[in-house]
Amino acid sequence: MPDISICMISYNHGPFIAKAIDSILMQQTAYTFELVIGEDYSTDDTKAICEAYVKKYPGKIKLLPSDKNYGPAQNFIRTFEACTGKYIALCEGDDYWIDKNKLQTQVVFLESNNNYSLTFHDTYHIAGTKKTKSAKWDAPDTSDIHYLLSHRNYITTLSVVFRNHSAVIGFLKESIASPYLDFFVYVAVAQYGLLKFFPKRMGMYRVHQGGVWSKLGFIKAMEKTILGYQIMYSKLPASQKDSLKIRYLAALEDYFLNSDAADYTADLQKLSIPEMAIEPYMIEFIKQNCEQRKKISHYVTSVPNKILFNSIIYKIKNKF
The answer to whether 232 and 268 have CB atoms below 8 angstroms apart is no
Q: What's the DSSP call for residue 71? A: -
Task: Fill in the amino acid letter for 271.
Answer: L
DSSP β-bridge partners for residue 122: 201
- 11-15, 130-134, 150-154, 274-278: which range is least confident on average? 274-278
Q: Which residues contact 215 (CB under 8 A, 6 or more apart)?
A: 209
Q: What is the pLDDT of residue 253?
A: 65
The pTM of this model reads 0.81
Distance of alpha carbon 257 from its chain centroid, rounded? Answer: 22
Rounded Cα–Cα distance for residues 152 and 208 (Å) = 22
Q: What is the pLDDT of residue 178?
A: 73
DSSP β-bridge partners for residue 9: 38
Half-sphere exposure (Cβ direction) of 119: Cα atoms closer than 13 Å: 24
Q: What's the DSSP call for residue 66? A: -
Strand 161-163 and strand 96-97: the pairing is: unpaired
Residue with more model confidence, 109 or 257:
109
- 129-138, 146-155, 167-176: which range is least confident on average? 129-138
Maximum distance among all Cα pairs of the chain, rounded to whole angstroms: 64
The answer to whether 189 and 117 have CB atoms below 8 angstroms apart is yes
Residue with more model confidence, 7 or 291:
7
Q: What is the pLDDT of residue 267?
A: 32
Q: Is 303 a residue whose pLDDT tops 50?
A: no
Rounded Cα–Cα distance for residues 192 and 120 (Å) = 16
Task: Report pLDDT digits (tens) over 66-85.
Answer: 899 999 999 999 999 999 99
Q: Which residues contact 59 (CB under 8 A, 6 or more apart)?
A: none
Rounded Cα–Cα distance for residues 25 and 299 (Å) = 47
DSSP β-bridge partners for residue 5: 34, 88
Q: What share of the chain is helix, strand, coil (3-state, %, to 5)?
A: 50, 20, 35
Alpha helices in the chain (DSSP H): 17-25, 46-56, 72-81, 102-112, 145-150, 166-174, 181-190, 218-235, 238-258, 261-264, 272-277, 280-294, 303-319
Q: Using 50, 70 and 90 to split pLDDT, how confident is the model at 268?
A: very low
Share of the chain above pLDDT 70, in %: 70
Q: What is the pLDDT of residue 142?
A: 98
* Fold adopted by 4-206: Spore Coat Polysaccharide Biosynthesis Protein SpsA; Chain A (3.90.550)
Rounded Cα–Cα distance for residues 209 and 192 (Å) = 36
Q: Using 50, 70 and 90 to split pLDDT, how confident is the model at 285?
A: very low
List, by residue range, all CATH 3.90.550.10 domains of the chain: 4-206
- CB count within 10 Å of CB 65 equals 9
Average pLDDT, the chain: 81
Q: What is the pLDDT of residue 181?
A: 86
Q: What is the pLDDT of residue 235?
A: 87
Rounded Cα–Cα distance for residues 220 and 200 (Å) = 31
The answer to whether 278 and 286 have CB atoms below 8 angstroms apart is yes
Q: Is 45 a residue whose pLDDT tops 80?
A: yes
Based on its alpha-carbon atoms, the radius of gyration of the chain, rounded to whole angstroms, reads 21
Nearest to 93 by CA among 177, 175, 8, 192: 8
Q: Is 304 a residue whose pLDDT tops 50?
A: no
